[in-house]
Amino acid sequence: MAKEGNYTGPAKWLHWGMALIWLAAWVIGIVATHWRDEFNAHHELTFLHKAMASTLLFLIVARIAWRLSHPAPALPDSMSPMMKRGAYVGHLLLYAVALIGLPLSGWYWSSVADKPIMVAALFALPPLVDPDQSLYDLAKAIHTYTAWLCGALIGGHVLVALKHHFVEKDEVLKGMLPGRGN
Instruction: From residue 126, give the alpha-carbon distance in Å to each of 118, 122, 144.
Output: 10, 13, 22
Work out which of 6, 12, 48, 102 binds ligand HEM, going by CB under 6 A: 102
Phi, psi of 179 (to 5 degrees): 65, 45
Instruction: From residue 90, give the alpha-carbon distance in Å to each of 50, 58, 80, 81, 144.
Output: 26, 22, 15, 14, 21
- Strands (DSSP E) contained in 75-174 are 118-119, 123-124
Least distance (Å) between residue 30 CB and ligand HEM: 5
Positions in 68-97 near ligand HEM (CB under 6 A): 72, 87, 91, 94-95
Distance separating alpha carbons of residues 121 and 176, to the nearest angstrom: 30
Distance separating alpha carbons of residues 52 and 22, to the nearest angstrom: 8
Annotate each residue in 17-56 with x if it binds ligand HEM (CB under 6 A) or - if it does not, as one string. --x--xx-xx--xx-xx------x-----x--xx--xx-x
Taking the least distance from each CB to ligand HEM, the nearer of 87 and 135 is 87
Contacting positions for ligand HEM (CB under 6 A): 15, 19, 22-23, 25-26, 29-30, 32-33, 40, 46, 49-50, 53-54, 56, 67, 72, 87, 91, 94-95, 98-99, 102-103, 106-107, 109-110, 117, 143-144, 147, 154, 157-158, 161, 172-173, 176
